[in-house]
Structure 1
Amino acid sequence: MAQAHIMEERGALRRLFGHVAHRAATIRLAVLCSILNKIWDLAPPLLIGVAVDVVVTQEESLLASYGVVDPWHQLLLLSVVTVAIWALESLFEYWYGVLWRNLAQSVQHDVRMATFERVLGHAPSWFDERRKGDLLAVLNDDVNQLERFLDKGANDLLQVGTTVIVVGVIFFAIAWEVALLAFMPVPLILWGSFRYQRALEPKYLSVRDAAGDLNALLENDIGGMTTIQSFTAEPLEAARLMELSEAYRARNREAIRLSAGFVPLIRMAILVGFTGTLLLGGWFTLEGTLEVGAYSVLVFMTQRLLWPLTTG
């Protein structure tokens, strides 16, 4: 069963790639903007570290070694760089937002049309065997989910990957021992994320089935409103709707209960990495083998590294 499920997912991904292949140039540009936005987004912790280094070491700071000796001039330079970085981050965020959203809308249109054309090709008996609510759920809800993935999910995945790579390079460049501690929870977080995803799948499939029942009833009742009113069956139909709506809410409640427990559990894994960075990095700083500014960067970067993994 698991193997069949994996093969089904791969087949779905191949079909998705088929719909976006002719938009490769747009995808490449959107990917580039997402990555550059995240790189600029990760710069402020570095700027904080440099600022701490300037205040603590003054004429002996890192910036002083590049020719800007006066501490006040160093802070002015940092301010200018900060403004430039924030402007670039905002600019690339705007660009990737426009690119991914337009791409999502285009792919959503293509998939909806392809799905509807596939539906039109079936014989009348095929429709008799299926509920209209289920078909509407596929044509509307499932296609909208695809649009939401391309609008937000693809960018999130790219930015998480960029964060891991960039922060990893910074950590290992500053102190590889601290880097090992900071990255220790990453496998556990990823494992927990995939396990939660697998556990949530049947819950959300159940929610989808309940949504199909609800859509079918609403579609039939709205289409047959004249008949319902002729037989004064409004209370009966309202009771049926209440029953299905309660079932939909109950299944959602089960999914919510499971999904809500994810972050509190993963937070404990994040605590290991953060505490390790705090203690080992602090020890190195007290011993004089790590600069205060570098220690500040490590502490700030640890949370930037681990928290995004909980939302992937």
Structure 2
Amino acid sequence: MTTPASPSTASPNSFQALVRLLRYARGYRRRIIAATSCSIINKLFDIAPEILIGVAIDVVVNQERSFVARLGFESAQEQILMLAVLTFFIWAGESIFEYLYKILWRNLAQRLQADMRLDTYEHAQRLDMAYFESKSSGQLVATMNDDVNQLERFLDGGANSLIQVGVTVVAVGAVFFVISPLIALLAFTPIPLIIWGAFFFQRKAGPLYADVREKVGDLASRLSNNLAGIATIKSFTSEAREAARLREVSEAYVEANRRAIRVSSAFIPVIRMAILAGFLATFTVGGMLALRGDLNVGAYGVLVFLTQRLLWPLTGLAEVIDLFERAMASTRRILDLLAVPITVRDNATTPLAEPLRGEVSFEGVSFRYAASEVGVDDVSLRVPAGNTLALVGATGSGKSTLIKLLLRFYDPSAGRVRIDGQPIDGVSLASLRGAIGLVSQDVYLFEGSVRDNIAYGKPDAAEAEIIEAARTAEAWAFIQALPRGLDTPVGERGIRLSGGQRQRLSLARALLKDPPILVLDEATSAVDNETEAAIQRSLRRIGHGRTVIMIAHRLSTIVHADEIVVIEGGRVVERGSHETLLETDGRYAAQWRVQTGALTADLAEGDATRA
């Protein structure tokens, strides 16, 4: 499967990331246009008071010969009053559009980040299991949470700042060239240097911020893994060691940020000197022209004020570029995740044919994991409807792989899997997985109540159905003993329950679904003898009229299976009933003797004979 390249090694530049973001956000086009329009109008209003100050100076100096007098306001008093009214409306307009652009940008940021996080999560849910086996959960959480939040922070303020800087350059530049092309040329001379500096630092900072985002993912992964394994850490008294390992990852994040900050911080001093050159040119040359009478005093005031309005905001460009780079580094990670291809696609809309009998067949199935090259080779099995099949073999022999192929977590490279004669790649995933109940060795309970977890596969189940499923799984007795019964919280991953209790709830969850096919993947390997006996009693009750596929290391749990299949190295090496396999005296019989103590008895008898 193809996975996206690391942004720190093969990322496009930030403007390509921006284009990708705009392409993704095309459904928000009207909101973006509205927010951008309000930002532009607000900035135009923001620039206007500086122009009015120059006009007011012109009124005071020239009075009846001022620029305003040409508009029909003859007396200086009328001109000042007119300017005061105009100033009021300009400030009111600036305030109104500032309110509007803040509302629009912030709401856009909230809506876009919420939708992007949901889209990313929904896409991740559809990705192949191979992707999750190659990526840490911490990296994925960092992408869906921290990276999305980084983009939100840019949209909250950075986007508006970039737009308004552009508007300032264009609008002020137009005023400058109307008043004095010479001074406009001098004032604008530093701007190419400023723009070049921005792009220069952007190119330098881009890879550094991509590395920062990678380090964030590493840190999140370490924290996630350590908190999930806190019991193991405590049992091995490894708190100090894990704290040191976390410190190492945290320091790597700090160092990555330090490198990025070192580059971005150098931007402001360089730009300040360029700004100073432009301001001094306007201040001195404009002053000389005004003294000689070649430039109106009011116009000189406008130019001086607008020079600051033009150039000083550019000092904030460094911070905006910094925010932009962080956001684009995050955007690349988010969009790269959204671009990961889905191999196991739910293309079919056809459900499994009803009534579903539950016959399962593997026909010459082969599959290899890309990372380890282990899997299954040319496996052919048939489980008649209502029968029980047991899969036995060493760890890594391919037993669980067959279950993953049945659930279409993966598609076989050769052969086909069928249910009731229908190829499973020709039916909808909802129909396929709805027909199969899975109880795995690694039980996962969701944070919530006992009731929530049992009803997870059937959220609208009546309480009587939930209780019946719990009784069948022999879980009802301990549930009644809990402080709040079905409403007792189980804690994160079911931490408040014992291993046996979690396993019984997992079985009850699968039974409430009432699937025609029940898969038990080492369901009794990590439970005590009492729980195992309880689960076995449950299985004998629920196995009637239901196809059951069991993976087991404890052979005592599968002696009643209709067929037992021994898998070794991804191939079927033995098959038959328990009695038949014992008579064959092969791998199954040898394992049976080890587990039942028969081998120990034979050795003891042999030693006694030799003595």
TM-score by length of 2: 0.48
Q: CA deviation at 1:5?
A: 4.8
* Aligned pair partner of 1:258 in 263, 275, 282: 263
Structure 1 equivalent of residue 348 of structure 2: none
* Aligned pair partner of 1:129 in 119, 124, 134: 134
Structure 1 equivalent of residue 241 of structure 2: 236
Taking a change above 3 Å as real, the CA distance of residues 183 and 241 of structure 1, as seen in their structure-2 partners, is same
Paired residue type of 1:88: G
Structure 1 equivalent of residue 55 of structure 2: 50
Structure 2 equivalent of residue 172 of structure 1: 177
Render the CA deviation track for 1:116-165: whole Å, top value 9, x for unaligned: 22222222222222222222221122212222232223222221221111
Q: CA deviation at 1:9?
A: 5.3
Paired residue type of 1:37: N
* Aligned pair partner of 1:65 in 56, 61, 70: 70
Q: CA deviation at 1:293?
A: 0.9
Give the Cα–Cα distance (whole angstroms) in 1 for the partners of residues 260 and 36 of structure 2: 32
Structure 2 equivalent of residue 107 of structure 1: 112
Contact 1:185 1:272 (C-alpha < 8 Å) held by counterparts: yes
Taking a change above 3 Å as real, the CA distance of residues 129 and 166 of structure 1, as seen in their structure-2 partners, is same
Structure 2 equivalent of residue 297 of structure 1: 302
Render the CA deviation track for 1:29-58: whole Å, top value 9, x for unaligned: 212111100000001111110121122223
State the number of aligned residues.
308
Taking a change above 3 Å as real, the CA distance of residues 17 and 202 of structure 1, as seen in their structure-2 partners, is closer
Asked if residue 182 in structure 1 is aligned to residue 187 in structure 2, the reply is: yes
Q: CA deviation at 1:291?
A: 0.9
Paired residue type of 1:200: A
Paired residue type of 1:53: D
Render the CA deviation track for 1:157-179: whole Å, top value 9, x for unaligned: 22122111111110011011111
* Aligned pair partner of 1:29 in 34, 54, 64: 34
Question: Unaligned stretches of 5+ in structure 2?
Answer: 1-9, 321-611
Q: Which moved more, 1:230-239 or 1:29-38?
A: 230-239
* Aligned pair partner of 1:220 in 216, 225, 245: 225
Give the Cα–Cα distance (whole angstroms) in 2 for the partners of residues 8 and 307 of structure 1: 25
Give the Cα–Cα distance (whole angstroms) in 1 for the partners of residues 12 and 259 of structure 2: 25
Q: CA deviation at 1:8?
A: 8.6
Paired residue type of 2:294: T
More strand by proportion, 1 or 2?
2
Paired residue type of 1:41: D
Structure 1 equivalent of residue 278 of structure 2: 273
* 1:294 alignment partner, SS class: helix
* Bigger RCO (CA 8 Å, 6+ sep): 1
Q: CA deviation at 1:295?
A: 0.4
Taking a change above 3 Å as real, the CA distance of residues 64 and 100 of structure 1, as seen in their structure-2 partners, is same
Contact 1:190 1:309 (C-alpha < 8 Å) held by counterparts: no
Q: CA deviation at 1:183?
A: 1.1
Q: CA deviation at 1:257?
A: 1.9
Contact 2:186 2:282 (C-alpha < 8 Å) held by counterparts: yes
Q: CA deviation at 1:264?
A: 0.4
Asked if residue 286 in structure 1 is aligned to residue 291 in structure 2, the reply is: yes
Give the Cα–Cα distance (whole angstroms) in 1 for the partners of residues 249 and 13 of structure 2: 33
Render the CA deviation track for 1:69-128: whole Å, top value 9, x for unaligned: 333343333222222211110100110111111112111122212222222222222222
Paired residue type of 1:64: A
Paired residue type of 2:91: W
Structure 1 equivalent of residue 83 of structure 2: 78
Question: Unaligned stretches of 5+ in structure 1?
Answer: none
Give the Cα–Cα distance (whole angstroms) in 1 for the partners of residues 218 and 68 of structure 2: 65
Contact 2:147 2:213 (C-alpha < 8 Å) held by counterparts: no
* Aligned pair partner of 1:245 in 243, 250, 253: 250
Give the Cα–Cα distance (whole angstroms) in 2 for the partners of residues 165 and 155 of structure 1: 16
Taking a change above 3 Å as real, the CA distance of residues 14 and 47 of structure 1, as seen in their structure-2 partners, is closer
* Cα RMSD, aligned residues only: 2.0
Paired residue type of 1:295: Y
Taking a change above 3 Å as real, the CA distance of residues 251 and 281 of structure 1, as seen in their structure-2 partners, is same
Q: Which moved more, 1:274-283 or 1:62-71?
A: 62-71
* 2:237 alignment partner, SS class: coil
Taking a change above 3 Å as real, the CA distance of residues 6 and 238 of structure 1, as seen in their structure-2 partners, is closer
Asked if residue 201 in structure 1 is aligned to residue 206 in structure 2, the reply is: yes
More helix by proportion, 1 or 2?
1
Asked if residue 90 in structure 1 is aligned to residue 56 in structure 2, the reply is: no
Taking a change above 3 Å as real, the CA distance of residues 15 and 264 of structure 1, as seen in their structure-2 partners, is closer
* 2:31 alignment partner, SS class: helix
Q: CA deviation at 1:242?
A: 2.1
**Matched ranges for 1:1-20 at <5 A:** 5-6=11-12, 10=16, 12-20=17-25
Give the Cα–Cα distance (whole angstroms) in 1 for the partners of residues 237 and 166 of structure 2: 59
Identity rate of aligned residues, in percent? 53
